[in-house]
Every structure is written in C-alpha cells, then in structure tokens.
Structure 1
Amino acid sequence: MDEPVFTPEFTREYEIICPVGSGGMARVYKARQRSLERIVAVKVLSPLAFTEEDSRARFDLERKLSSQIKHDNIVALLSFGDLAGTPYLVFEFIDGMSLRELLNRRNRLPVQQALRIARDIAAGLAAAHAVKIVHRDLKPDNVLMDIKGVAKISDFGLARSIRPNKQSQLTKEGIILGTPGYLAPEVIRGEPATPGSDMFAMGVLLYEMITGSLPHAGSSDRELLMRYVREEIRPLSASGVEVPEALEQLTALLLKRDPAARPGSATRVGQALRQIQEDPSRPLPTELGAPQQRTSAPAKTVAATVTIQAPPRRLKTIKVTRRTAVRALAGLAAAVLLLALSIG
C-alpha cells in the first residue's frame, strides 16, 4: 500500500514514529502528539481506498460513531483531520498487544484471565449498545490489551447505528460484513446485525480464550459459515477444559443460534461473569436465559454478496453457487455468497 503524504500542517502537530498495522482500507501509525506530549495512534485512509466512495463513507462513519462512545473499555477517538483531502483519525495508543497476539502466544488462557477479559469486553459492548451502536466485527484482532491487562474494543470501521431512522447505514441489502468464525448465524443468513449479533461474537471470543479454538471448524470459509448456521455449538466441557457449570451455561447462551434466546444485555452478562469469578459454584441468574424479543427482520432469500474479513489463517476468495448454498443451508441464506477480504 502506498504511503500517505503527511502535510506540513500535520507534521507540526504529529511526529510519525513507525507503522503499527495496515489493512485494505487504512494504515495505522504510532505517533507523538507534540502539543500534548503524548503517544497516539493515527489511522489514515489508504490512497487506494480513498478512490472508493464506500470506503470514504465508511471511514467517515467510523469517526462519527467512535466519537459517540466514551468508555474505559473502548479505544478512545481523540481527534481527526485530513492530509490534503485524505482523512485520518487519531486514537489513544494502546501500549500492549491484541487478544489475537496473546492467544497466538498462549493458545488458550486460564479461566480467571479469560473471565476478566470477557468482563472488559462486555462493559465495552454495553457502552456501545447504550448509544445504539453495533460493532459487527468483534474478534481477537479488535480487542487490545494494555500493559495493565485491561481489554479495550477497537476498530468501529464496520459498525452501524441502530437508531430509528438513522441515516448512517452503508451496507446494502444482501451485503454481509464481518469475519468468518465470529459472524452470528442470523447475519450469515442475511439479517441485519443487532446487539445480539455482538453478543454471539463475544461468546465466540469467550469460547476461544478458554479452549484455544473456535466453536466450529471448517476446511473452508464456506464450510465454516454453513456449520454456524446449521449446527449447535459443542459445549466447553467437550474440549477437555474444566470450567464452572455456570460458565458453560453462559457460553452456551451467548452462542445460541436463535438471537432471541441469547442474553439481551451486555451489562447483565458482565455481572454474570463477575459472579462466576467470585463464586464459581453459584448458579447462573435465571433471567439471563429468558427469551428476548426478536429485533432482527426475518431472513430473505436474496442474491447476496458477502464481503467478509477472512481471519489471518485463511485469506482467499470463495464463491458459493445457488445450488451449493441451497443444499447446505436447506433453503436458507443467499443465492450467491462471495467472500472477499475487506479489512477496515
């Protein structure tokens, strides 16, 4: 990806130290903000993405949505601007590692550590959901750990507002954004993402932290997606890891295929996680398993292009024909699924 041109106005305020990450839409740099003498992260829209109207609009939406959330478990947006027309965002710099890096080093985490991280994630999601924002791409890469071990949710590049009549929706009907392995079944079927979809992704993270693997495996992204729609999740205990019964029950609730059967409040999930930390033998609060009112629209059978962020272990483009999709999903989901790398 071409390097952005940092203007004199920008360099008077920010000194670029080094690049720290990049994707299809943007590059992130570690920088020093001169006026406040602090280290920050600068996210710059890539020149290639700048030529795409959808990428520019999504980058601008990330700015608007990120500015609405103020919470210790959300990476804070500090400022924004443009480099001769190319937009950039300035975030707090997290001096630590991503949850992905932590899992790569340790494979799986001790139960108490996983519970602590999951509580932070639940608190961050509660803050986002309180202002009617759905993250839509919760995964280990987008959870950053600071040097104190506090987890913060990052990258609202695929987020959407669910406020009534809110004119901030960029995803067209039949387009699915997210990462295979962390997408909720209803999203794979083409329904709109809701807070319940984020709760499912959180359940996947909890499962992965404890077992070292995703709830389902597949030889391809297509097979993985099909399994999430068609098959129930294996219980935590089937992985051979000893966990409290309440934790097994909570994870199973978060990973329910029916979004109406999942816990409806990230705050309550955080409270349940704390209870499990403090008293593992205490039963899970019964209200967590109460059916929630369905907020997703019924699935439609449509021709769909599925733009998906593939996980690091598998980066490729796959096309699923109508015949394959119908056979695998028994009439559910889209007629055409196209998986394409789309990193925001």
Structure 2
Amino acid sequence: MTKTRDFFGPYRLARLIRSGSTAEVWEAIDENTNERYALKILKRQSAGDRTEVAMLKHEYNVGKDLASPRIIKILDYQVANDRPFLVLELFSELNIKQALRRGPESLAFMLRKIIEQAGEGLYYMHTKNWLHLDIKPDNFLVSRDGETKLIDFTISEKKKTGLSKLFHKSKTARGTRSYMAPEQIRCKVCDERTDIYAFGCVLYEMCTGKPPYTGDTPNDLLSRHLSSSIPSPIVHNDNITPEFAAIVKRMMAKNPADRPDSMWDFLKEFRTTEIHRKRPRKPKISVFDSMPGIKGADDMLRKDAGLENDVIEYED
C-alpha cells in the first residue's frame, strides 16, 4: 500500500533527483493525468522557517511569468503535508557543475550550443527586467544533446531604475562567492552587467574545469574578485582561441562599464567567434551515462561543496 507521505497533493514521489540544505527536488507523477513533473519541496526543518518559505514563494513569483524554452517552467506553488513546494517542468537533472566534474572535455564538443542557449535564457530574463544574481554552473541544467535551461530564482531581483536606483542602500550582499561581481560584493546597485560578470566566470569554468578564482578563506575569495588580475582561460586550456578568451576576460572586468552592455551584445559577438582552435571530439563515454560517484538517489545528495558554491548572505 502506498504511504501518504509518498504523495504531495496529487503528486506521487517517484525518484529523488537532488537534495540541498533546505530543499529536495523529486521527480513526481500526477496521479490524475499521469504526467511527470519536478517538485522542489522544502525539507521539514525548513518548512516552518518564514524566510525559507518567503524565498520559495519569491522564486515562484519570479519564474511563473518567464515563458522561454531556455528557462525552466515554474508551474505552481502549493502546500501539502505541511510543506511548501514548487511544481516545475521535468528536465534533465544534470547541471553543468555536475558534468564538469568529469572535466571540461565532457561538454566541450557541444559548448557552443550550451553557451548560446544559456545566454539566451539570461537575455530573456533581462528583457523582463529581472536580474538573476546567482548565475553559476549549478543553475544551468543541460541535456545530453546540449539543450540548456536556466533555473533557481531564489535571490533574483527586479532591475532598479529611477528613484529606487538613486536611493539604493543595502548592507547585505547575497550571492555565490565564486561568481559574484565586485559591485554585488560591495552592495552597490546591480544591473545586467552583474549577471554578465558571473556568466563570464561560468564560461571560464566551462572552458577550464575550474572557477577563475579560489581562496583560502571566504574573505580571501571575495577580495580576489575585487582586486586580482583577470585570468585567461588559455592558461588552463591552450585549445581556447585568443578571441574567445578576450570576450571572457572582458565579461569579468572589475568595472561594469568595461563589460558588454547587455547579454544581446555578448550573443552578437559570441556568434561570430570561434571558441576552440581545434574542434573537440565527442567523448566515447557520455557524462550522462557515467557520472562518477553517482550510483543512485543517495549519491545525489549534495555534499559540503566548500566555500565556493554556497549562496552566502553577509553584512558589508
């Protein structure tokens, strides 16, 4: 007999996809329609936390009107079994960060398609006046043929204009340390170029298999984004063209004025630029068929990823 706890409303939990510190993502089946969805469910210890509940509602309010094939569809917000959850379209559970654990070669052969679709998703979000503010490899899902979707709008914000921009004042910075733009770290006004900086960090990591900056402490890592010289991906991957490396470095400029003005400007330039000197071959073993260290649901649990990958919130 199926236990009640295996159901959230009409949705029967079928398979754990991912588990984080505050929420789990499950593949679920609607018993009325037999359609499959992904449910993002707050863990029991987080379900009574007003801040976590508010963030989940916020993610729904941001995502429900983003109608793009490059962005995950958020279909509903519900509460069942005293736990709030989101209903999302079911898409590949493999994110770019997971794929890169096999090295940059795992995605290199379809990197152009991934970058273009990821960029289109971010560009679409900006056209709706939303800033993502947590762009990182973990927040892009990718399928085995390179189809890519942007996810996780937990800390997204409306772009500030007019008086809201003029009187902006904040002492709290939120983001993921390995991908935060200097103005985000300093609690200054953010705009599209803040996401462009983070996307530049993501492109660097997709080319090299490692983020552009690392640090021994949280403050050390943040200070590198503020003052360290901008690294070139060619140092770690000599198959990257100088032209593409120059784009990545410009995206990661310390001063927003030195970055591309918009994701559209980036996409126009990217579409006429070669990424690799020599076209990468498709690996004999797909990363989608053989993920190291992942054998079942229990292995999908997110381990402590260190100080680089956690969303942080701190006082400036």
Same fold (TM over 0.5): yes
Could you report, residue by residue, the CA deviation over 1:193-216 in whole angstroms, capped at 9, with x for unpaired residues?
322111111100101111122112
> Which residue in the other structure is 1:143 paired with?
140
CA contact 2:234–2:241 (8 Å) conserved in 1: no
Residues 1:79 and 2:76 aligned together: yes
Higher relative contact order (CA 8 A, sep 6+): 2
| Contact 1:181–1:216 (Cα < 8 Å) also in 2 | yes
8 A contact 2:212–2:231 mirrored in 1: yes
Alignment equivalent of 1:66, drawn from 53, 57, 63: 63
- Structure 1 counterpart of 2:293: none
1:138 shift after superposition: 1.1
* 1:166 CA displacement: 11
Instruction: Show the counterpart of 1:154.
Output: 151
Could you tell me whether the CA contact under 8 Å between 1:7 and 1:84 is conserved in 2?
Answer: no
Alignment-derived partner of residue 32 in structure 2: 35
* TM-superposed deviation, 1:110: 6.3
> Which residue in 2 is equivalent to 1:312?
305
Residue type matched to 1:99 in 2?
Answer: I
Q: Any conservation in 1 of the 2:70–2:148 contact (CA below 8 Å)?
A: yes
Mark the CA change 1:191 to 1:271 in structure 2 (over 3 Å): closer, same or farther: same
Q: Is structure 2 residue 267 aligned with structure 1 residue 274? A: no
CA pair 28-106 structure 1, distance change in 2 beyond 3 A: same
Equivalent runs, 1:153-192 vs 2, <5 Å: 153-162=150-159, 164=161, 173-192=170-189
Deviation digits for residues 129-179 of structure 1 (CA, Å, limit 9, x no counterpart): 111111111111111112322111111111112265899xxx982111111
Identical pairs, percent: 23
Change (3 A) 1:113 1:311: farther
Between 185-194 and 129-138, the greater mean CA deviation after superposition = 185-194
3-state SS of 2:196 partner: helix
One-letter code aligned to 1:265: S
Offset, 1:246: 2.0
Q: Deviations over 1:90-131 (max 9, x none)?
A: 111113511011100124556553332111111000111111
SS, match of residue 27 in structure 2? strand
Rounded Cα–Cα distance in structure 2 between residues aligned with 1:113 and 1:178:
28
Count of matched residue positions in the alignment of Structure 1 and Structure 2:
283
The one-letter amino acid of 2:47's match is: F
Question: Which deviates further from its counterpart, 230-239 or 197-206?
Answer: 230-239
Q: Aligned to 1:248, which of 225, 245, 250?
A: 245
Equivalent pair of 1:232/1:257 in contact (CA under 8 Å): no
1:132 is matched by which residue type in structure 2?
A: N
Q: Cα 1:118–1:166, aligned 2, differ >3 Å: closer, same or farther? A: farther
Could you tell me which runs of 5 or more consecutive residues in structure 2 were left unpaired when the two chains were aligned: 278-302
1:240–1:126 Cα change, 3 Å: closer
Letter in 2 for 1:225: L
Match of 1:88 among 80, 85, 89: 85
- Distance in structure 2 (CA, Å) of the matches to 1:179 and 1:7: 33
Name 2:50's counterpart in structure 1.
53
Describe the SS at the equivalent of 1:275: coil
Q: What one-letter code is carried by the residue in structure 2 that aligns with 1:127?
A: Y
DSSP-derived class of the 1:196 partner: helix
* Partner residue of 2:236 out of 218, 223, 239: 239
Paired position in structure 2 for 1:208: 205
Partner of 2:281: none
Q: 1:7 to 1:239 in 2, by over 3 A?
A: closer
TM-score of the two chains, using structure 1 as the length reference: 0.73
Residues 247 and 28 (structure 1), Cα distance of their counterparts in 2 relative to 1, 3 Å cut: same
Measured in 1, the distance between the counterparts of 2:163 and 2:69 equals 26
Deviations 1:27-69 (A, max 9, x none): 2111012333322110122333333322222211111100121
The runs of 5 or more residues in structure 1 that have no matched partner are 281-309, 318-333, 338-344
2:229 alignment partner AA: E
* Segment drifting more, 22-31 vs 95-104: 22-31
Residue pair 2:136, 2:179 contacting (<8 A) in 1 also: yes
**Compared CA separation, residues 226 and 85, structure 1 to 2 (3 A):** same
Q: 1:46 to 1:192 in 2, by over 3 A?
A: farther
Secondary structure of the corresponding residue to residue 17 of structure 1: strand
Show the counterpart of 1:297.
none
State the Cα RMSD in Å.
3.1
TM-score normalised per structure 2: 0.79
Instruction: Measure the CA separation in 2 of the matches of 1:236 and 1:122.
Output: 19
Q: Distance in 2 between matches of 1:240 and 1:279?
A: 9
Q: What is the distance in 2 between the residues matched to 1:114 and 1:50?
A: 38
**Equivalent residues of 1:19, 1:30 under 8 A apart:** yes
Residue 261 of structure 1 pairs with residue 258 of structure 2: yes
